[in-house]
Amino acid sequence: MPRMTYLEAARRALAEEMRRDPDVWAVGEDLGRGGVFGQYRGLIEEFGPERVIDAPISENAILGSSVGAAMTGARPVVEMRFADFALCAIDELVNQAAKARYMFGGQIRVPLVVREPVGLWKSAAAQHSQSLEAWYVHIPGLVVVMPATPADNAGLLKAAIRCDDPVVYMEHKDLWGLEGEVPEEIEPIPLGTARLARAGRDLTLVTWSAAVHTALDAAAQLAGEGVDAEVLDLRTLWPWDREAVFASVARTRRVLIVHEAVRVGGFGAEIAATLAEELGDRLAAPPRRLGAPRIPVPYSPPLEQEVRIPADRIAEAARALLRA
């Protein structure tokens, strides 16, 4: 299989979907010059300014017009540049796109993809570093996707574009340059299916997005101590793959949920509570979770490091779980 970056894989998937379906188009700020990270580079040359649309600096106008277009049959891919900026258009997404299918009795759908780059990235500070996936998971009507690998960023983006419901598609900024194998023929990856990143027998690490790679590093550390940790990459947070999580945790009987987002109110709490309620006494220890402290992300690199969840900390939490 060819190797490409996380960014290149998504760009290729989008181009293929635009060739396949003339109703697919992209809109956002600076797309004509390739997007702020280069994820649209070359697309305007192939598809023209009618399908790769440079929009004015108004997130609510960009998303509001796209919601209307999706309601009439188009399949827009909306670039928000940063997840933080998407908050300017939260009404259009949460009160309009997410609710339209229900409020109109299924007569219309909103096949919309909202790309929101997320996460800690090179001293981007408090207004450009947030991971807000738990907000969107809380909203009925939204699908929430967070790919961790180049292959998944290609296959999941294709699935998101073909989905008939609005998808919040959250790509981690620190993964843009990550290289990996991508199939020659990219097929959509079914939404709501987890990926077994590493098999193990002693405990399960449930995670998503960039934290998957940190969890794999922690699992490698633990393997040197004779601990066999399983790493499960959710890929889609809503719907989440309960069957895969439950099967893994029922077998290992211990689970640590890891996410970069703030721990308080994070999606890890939902997973932990569900496992505690439904597996109960079958667990060898209560579910545990790791997340960021409830503070704004600092600009200072040493302070930013205190917000991160490094592999050493995951390994330490896993050891404590095994002792419990």
* Residue 222 DSSP code: H
DSSP string covering 38-52: STTTTHHHHH-TTTE
- Residue 222 in contact with residue 318, Cβ under 8 Å? yes
Looking up tokens 């790919």 gives 147
Integer Cα distance of 156 and 202 in angstroms: 30
Q: How far apart are alpha carbons 56 and 58 in whole angstroms?
A: 6
- Judge whether 3-181 and 195-323 match in fold: yes
The answer for residues whose C-beta is within 8 angstroms of residue 158's C-beta and 6 or more apart is 13, 16, 17, 186, 187, 188, 189
CA distance 190 to 285: 32
195-323 is a CATH 3.20.20.80 domain: no
Q: How far apart (Å, rounded) are the C-alpha atoms in residues 208 and 259? A: 7
Would you list the domain boundaries of the chain?
A: 3-181, 195-323
198 contacts 220 by C-beta, under 8 angstroms: no
* Cα(148)–Cα(61) distance, integer angstroms: 30
- C-alpha span between 226 and 205 (Å, rounded): 16
CATH 3.30.2010.10 fits 3-181, yes or no: no
Give residue-wise pLDDT tens across range 2-46.
999 999 999 999 999 999 999 999 999 999 899 989 999 999 999
pLDDT in tens, the chain (324 residues): 899 999 999 999 999 999 999 999 999 999 989 998 999 999 999 999 999 999 999 999 999 999 999 999 999 999 999 999 999 999 999 999 999 999 999 999 999 999 999 999 888 888 898 999 999 999 999 999 999 999 999 999 999 999 999 999 999 999 999 999 999 999 999 999 999 999 999 999 999 999 999 999 999 999 999 999 999 999 999 999 999 999 999 999 999 999 999 999 999 999 999 999 999 889 999 999 999 999 999 999 999 999 999 999 999 999 999 998
Residue 191 C-alpha from the chain's centroid: 12
- Which residues are known to be catalytic? 128
Task: Give residues with Cβ within 8 angstroms of 187, minimum separation 6.
Answer: 155, 158
